[in-house]
Amino acid sequence: MIPFATTQRLILRAWRDSDKDSIFTALNDPRVAHGISGELVPQSDTGWERLKIDLDKTFMVLVIEIKKEYLYMRGHDPNEIEDELEPEVERREKRKFVGMVTLDQTQAKNRNTELGIFLAFAWWSKGLGTEVLQWLLKYNFETLGMHRMTLHAYGDNMNAIELYKHLGYVEEGRMREAVTHEGAWIDVVIMSMLDREWQAAKTRPIDLSKFEDVVVSTIFRLG
């Protein structure tokens, strides 16, 4: 399959049915599912059919894969259980799965989009989420010609919020104690970037080295 786009370490491509196991392994992981809208329940084959309908309705959906020369960066996941009977070729393909990113056109006539992203646990804190965001911002404003790009982040992911601000996002407000996680009520932080803010941000030097360990995550809406 020809990739839709590439970055230094990543391949961005359309999703396909063979991604089901990789996607559901991530979505069934409570550490990742914390950022998914909807109920935190295990996803079944029936859930996959519903998810495909939701993905088809989304403006842009991309699977994030690691380039094979960077596969060594994959971290150890103590919760991971691999199928010993699975062919090594298939296992290697699944290990390349990094996550998914979506761009939903919330208001077409106003040229507004909303970002959603999740990464599998084994790829957290590698700087890959930041790499995707930098590509997506450029694509959103320069290729698609959008005026505004929003995201919703959990207020307890303060390092990620700081990263978004560093990239040029502006905090618009908070939905106070809008979600619950592990017994605590958490704010949802609403952030956005306008096309003129993107133009200003891309002309100034940005040092992202201190954000290498940040877990990039936004609320990922499914339907």
Instruction: Find the CATH number of the domain harbouring 39.
Output: 3.40.630.30
Q: 23-27, 84-88, 131-135 — which is least confidently predicted?
A: 84-88
- pLDDT digits over 82-92, tens only? 666 666 666 67
Residue 48 to residues 21, 35, 93, 121, 153, Cα–Cα distance (Å): 10, 18, 20, 20, 25
Average pLDDT over residues 20-41: 76
The answer to whether the CB of 96 falls within 8 A of the CB of 66 is yes
Burial class of residue 205, CB neighbours in 10 A (0-12, 13-18, 19+): exposed
Average pLDDT, the chain: 87
Query: Confidence band (pLDDT; 50, 70, 90) for 203?
Result: confident
The answer as to whether 108 is a domain residue is yes
The answer as to whether 89 is a domain residue is yes
Structure tokens at 61: 């959906």
The answer as to whether 177 is a domain residue is no
The answer as to whether 158 is a domain residue is no
Full-model pTM: 0.88
Structure tokens at 100: 């998914």
pLDDT of residue 32: 82
The answer to whether the CB of 94 falls within 8 A of the CB of 22 is yes
The answer as to whether 222 is a domain residue is no
The answer as to whether 112 is a domain residue is yes
74: helix, strand or coil: coil
Q: Name residues whose C-beta falls within 8 Å of residue 68's C-beta, 6 or more positions apart in sequence.
A: 96
- Alpha-carbon torsion, ordered 181, 28, 140, 190, to 10 deg: -10
pLDDT at 1 over 70: no
Q: Which domain holds residue 122?
A: 5-147+207-211
State the Cα angle at 102 between 97 and 105, rounded to 5°.
165
In the chain, the number of structural domains is 1
| Alpha carbon distance 188, 132 (integer Å) | 22
The answer as to whether 78 is a domain residue is yes
The answer as to whether 142 is a domain residue is yes
